Amino acid sequence: MWQKVEAFMGKNSYFNIFISFFKIGLFTFGGGYAMMRVMEREFVENKKWMDSKSMLDLLAISQSTPGPFAINSATYIGYQQKKVGGSVAATLGVVLPSFIIIILISIFLEAFSQNIHIQNVLKGINAGVAVLIFNAWFSLSKSLGVTVINVILMAIGFLISLFIPSFSVVYLIIITAIFAIIYGLFMNRGKVDAN
């Protein structure tokens, strides 16, 4: 009997995967970047499902594939844990809270749009989202390590985002990837020449 309970409630069970992503979907406002730090805490620090390097890989994969970051990352982590079933459990877990909240908001939309308290709560949530995004950036940049090329690439990305807000994130990733490839080829050529 305990084996069945463990299979259902255990660390890497479908239920645990679903609940982990349900909590993230329920309590994380602001989308992908705001979600990063919460996911890192949950999956790197608490559950130990991945390490910091895998988290950076997850960010790159989730941002470069079509679709929302939350769904891409849930599918990726779920698949790592329990293959296709884990992907389904994680994706349902991260999507279901938003679905329920949107249904409730649509039912009470008129009351919400006129309520000053609800408007103030949403303003506060927006400020909190900005902090979560900064926290995710800071945590990820520490994981990358402080090197000249990393600082330059982050500065380029930041300046483009700041001065050209409509600039596509896809192009930004491509540009920084090209710079990183050129830098890597240059550095490796220097090592080969030295030998």
> Tokens 């895998």 — which residue?
54
- Residues 182, 106, single domain; the answer is no
φ/ψ of residue 13, rounded to 5: -75, 160
- Residues 33, 79, single domain; the answer is yes
Per-residue model confidence (pLDDT) at position 191: 62
Helices 116-144 and 32-39, interaxial angle, to 10°?
60
- Which SS3 state, helix, strand or coil, does residue 195 take? coil
- Residues 16, 102, single domain; the answer is yes
Domains held by the chain: number:
2
Give the span between the Cα atoms of 112 and 117, in whole angstroms. Answer: 9
Q: pLDDT means per 10 residues in the chain (195 residues)? A: 57 90 86 79 91 86 85 93 95 94 84 81 80 75 74 83 87 84 80 56
Give the span between the Cα atoms of 176 and 152, in whole angstroms. Answer: 9
> Residue 111, by phi and psi: left (phi above 0), alpha (psi -120 to 50) or beta?
alpha
Per-residue model confidence (pLDDT) at position 1: 52
Per-residue model confidence (pLDDT) at position 73: 92
Residue 33 in contact with residue 133, Cβ under 8 Å? yes
- Residues 89, 159, single domain; the answer is no
Give the span between the Cα atoms of 89 and 10, in whole angstroms. Answer: 14
Within 10 Å of residue 194's Cβ, how many Cβ atoms?
A: 6
Per-residue model confidence (pLDDT) at position 151: 80
Condensed to tens digits (0 to 9), the pLDDT of residues 89-102 reads 999 999 999 899 88
Boundary (domain end) residue, out of 142, 166, 184 = 142
Q: What domain range is 101 assigned to?
A: 2-142
- Residues 160, 79, single domain; the answer is no
- Residues 78, 106, single domain; the answer is yes
- Residues 52, 123, single domain; the answer is yes
Per-residue model confidence (pLDDT) at position 4: 58
- Residues 155, 111, single domain; the answer is no
Per-residue model confidence (pLDDT) at position 92: 97
Within 10 Å of residue 90's Cβ, how many Cβ atoms?
A: 30
- Residues 96, 185, single domain; the answer is no
